[in-house]
Structure 1
Amino acid sequence: MRILIIHNHYQHPGGEDTVVAQEKQLLAQTEHVELLAFHNRKGWQGMWQTFWSPWNIWAGQRVRRAIKRYKPDIIHIHNLHYAVGPIAIRIAKRQGVPVVMTLHNYRLICPSATLFFNGELFINSLQARFPWRAVRLGVHSHSRLKTFWLALTIWLHKKWGTWQMTDRYITLTDFAKQLFIDSSLGVPAEKYVTKPNFAATDERRDHPMDQSETDHFLFIGRLTEEKGINILLKAFAGMDFRLQVVGDGPLRNTVMDAVRTSPNITYLGALERAAITPLLTSCTALIFPSIWYEGMPMTLLDAFAAGTPVIASDLGAMRSMVNDGQNGWLFAPGDAQALREKAKLWLDTDNAYRQHLGNGARLSYKLLYTAKRNQLLLAAIYGAVIESHRRGK
């Protein structure tokens, strides 16, 4: 099978880039794979890319040349925003190549892409014919102009039927799948399939949980409001159990202030994966207090692979991934007191119970999030789409 992957890199590397790299490496073990990469630029080049995003003929030409050169059996699109644009889908279909697209975020149903704005969930656009309220608020980059231009691009291609041309949309959780089905995007339910991401590492704790780990919790992630950093710090401030924080972002100074006033909180900065794995395999639980729906947090997958239970907010993707009492616990989203009480209760449990949840976390990984299972799921999706395309000719 010949697979052409199309991916638009943002200015700052993120989780989507990691997933694309992992899937490309995984597929290359058994298939012929080529990556056609685009990059968002800064300054006037970025403005030019944004202006042409509704119909980027230059990007379209690159896609057309790649198809003619590589002759793929299928195209897998990960991100089109904004240096490529939806023209890639139309070019692929015009060239007679079936298209699969992974929905890493919610951009097709809301210009915010995260369904989060100004400290709270923003779901007003889900059923809107055109997201005028999102435009008025400037939910994309806090800019009305950018929000309008993105919304217009999505709306135009909805009217032109571009989104219907994609043969299959891959959602990362059933929760996200249902959001898209119920939205005003208008793509039929049968075009969606759920396939989670996978953990690239298979390193797990090599010892049972014991008393030495009872006061050591861990947070890993970008230090932003939507990740629940303020809730996390409030919940752990002045407590007698320890929290280690790993990551970087706009709220770094807020974390540093908390470290100065609460000796139980330690900030380790941004770390490479090699340094993070030992932390995951030695902590008593991973804390994940996100207050937006998330796509599929890679940190949770890494925790499950390590056999580490997760205490997460009862919301969106986390609700789909964390089974309360089986591989972790859930708490009321945005509620620092609820998180604090869960942490206290956790410390009152015995080692056997924590080990039970750790085993459940590891089992979740082995059943759902291994590279091998992901490889089989991708092959099944590609095979079904290619066969359906051939029958339709």
Structure 2
Amino acid sequence: MRILSIHNYYQHPGGEDVVFEQEKTLLALTEHVFSLTFNNKKGWRGAWQTFWSPWNIWAAQRLKRAIRQYKPDVIHIHNLHYAVGPIAVRVAKRMGIPVVMTVHNYRLLCPSSTLFHNGKLFTDSLYTEFPWKAVCIGAHSHSSVKTFWLSYTTWLHKKLGTWHMVDRYITLTDFAKQVFAGSSLHLPPEKLVIKPNFVANGFQLSEARGHHFLFVGRLTQEKGVEVLLEAFAGTDYHLRIVGDGPLRTMVTDADQRHPNITYLDTLGRAAIDQQLATCTALVFPSIWYEGMPMTLIEAFAAGTPVIASNLGAMESMVHEGQNGWRFTAGSASDLREKIGLWLTTTVTYRQQLGLEARREYEQRYTAEQNRLLLLNIYHSTTGAT
């Protein structure tokens, strides 16, 4: 099968960029894979890209040339924002190529892209034809102007029927599928399919685990860092934190004031894997819905149970009493209580949850599982067998 993957790289590398590269490399093992990539610029070039995002004729011309050159059987779109724009969908369909799009976030439903704003969930845009409230509060980049233009682009192509031209939307979790299915996009259920992300199987299982907990991730408010620190402060429960971000100073202060909290700064891949293999559980206190946290998949691959907030993607991935526990999102007291209860359980019980976490990985999140799921999705759009 000949596959053309389209992706617009962000100014700051993120998880979507990683998934695009992973899938492209994975599919290239058995298929003919070609890529068409774009980059968001800064300064006046970025403003120019943004201005043309509703109807980017230059991006359209690049895509037409790529289709003529590579003759793909299917086009897989990852990110269109800003330098490509929705016109890519229309060009592909006009040239008779089926289109698959992965929705890594909620940008088609809300200009915030995360359904999170100013420290709390923001879902007002999900069911409205035009997200005026998001514009008023500057839900995108804290700018009403940028939010309006992004909203206008999505709205225009909603009216033109562009989003209904996509043959399959890949959602990462059942939760995300339900959100899109009930939104103002009014997508037919048969166009929404679930395919999770994956990580390579390079993890070693370990029985020599300590009694400390681990957090790995961006040090930001939406990741629940404040909830995390409040839950562990003044207790005898030991926590190690890996990551960087705007709340770094808050974390370093906690490290200095509380002997049970240790900040390990940023670590390389091998060092993070070692931390996952030796902690008693990963703590994931995010207070927004998330897309599909790679950290959770990495924990499962390492046979590490997860204690996560009962929200969004975490509800779809962490199954109570099977591969981990859940607590009330945003509640430091409930997290503290769950941590205390966890340490009273037997080693055998924790090991069993770890084995279930690993089994979950092997059944859902391996590279081979992902390759087969992707090919099935492509075949369903082309009619190939």
Shorter-chain TM-score: what band? over 0.9
SS of the counterpart of 1:183? coil
SS of the counterpart of 1:47? helix
- Deviation of the 1:204 alpha carbon: 2.7
User: Structure 1: which amino acid aligns with 2:344?
Assistant: D
Percent identity between matched residues is 66
CA distance, structure 1, for counterparts of residue 380 and residue 348 of structure 2: 44
What is the aligned partner in structure 2 of residue 146 from structure 1? 146
- Deviation of the 1:82 alpha carbon: 0.6
User: Structure 2: which amino acid aligns with 1:320?
Assistant: S
What is the aligned partner in structure 2 of residue 124 from structure 1? 124
SS of the counterpart of 1:256? helix
SS of the counterpart of 2:127? coil
SS of the counterpart of 2:21? helix
CA distance, structure 2, for counterparts of residue 115 and residue 103 of structure 1: 14
What is the root-mean-square deviation of aligned Cα atoms in Å? 1.1
What is the aligned partner in structure 2 of residue 335 from structure 1? 331
What is the aligned partner in structure 2 of residue 15 from structure 1? 15
The answer to whether the aligner puts 1:245 opposite 2:241 as a matched pair is yes
Paired residues for 1:1-393 under 5 Å: 1-205=1-205, 207-210=206-209, 213-214=210-211, 216-387=212-383
Deviations 1:99-152 (A, max 9, x none): 000000000000100000011000000001110000000000000000000000
- Deviation of the 1:14 alpha carbon: 0.4
SS of the counterpart of 1:269? coil
Segments of 4+ in structure 1 off by > 4 A? none
Q: Give the paired residue count.
A: 385
SS of the counterpart of 1:320? helix
CA distance, structure 1, for counterparts of residue 204 and residue 106 of structure 2: 32
User: Structure 1: which amino acid aligns with 2:150?
Assistant: L
User: Structure 2: which amino acid aligns with 1:88?
Assistant: A
- Deviation of the 1:201 alpha carbon: 3.5
- Deviation of the 1:209 alpha carbon: 4.9
- Deviation of the 1:47 alpha carbon: 0.6
CA distance, structure 2, for counterparts of residue 67 and residue 142 of structure 1: 37
Contact 1:201 1:302 in 2 (8 A): no
Gaps of 5+ in 2: none
Contact 1:209 1:354 in 2 (8 A): no
User: Structure 2: which amino acid aligns with 1:221?
Assistant: G
Deviations 1:192-213 (A, max 9, x none): 00111112233132x3255xx1
Gaps of 5+ in 1: none
Question: TM-score, normalization: structure 1?
Answer: 0.96
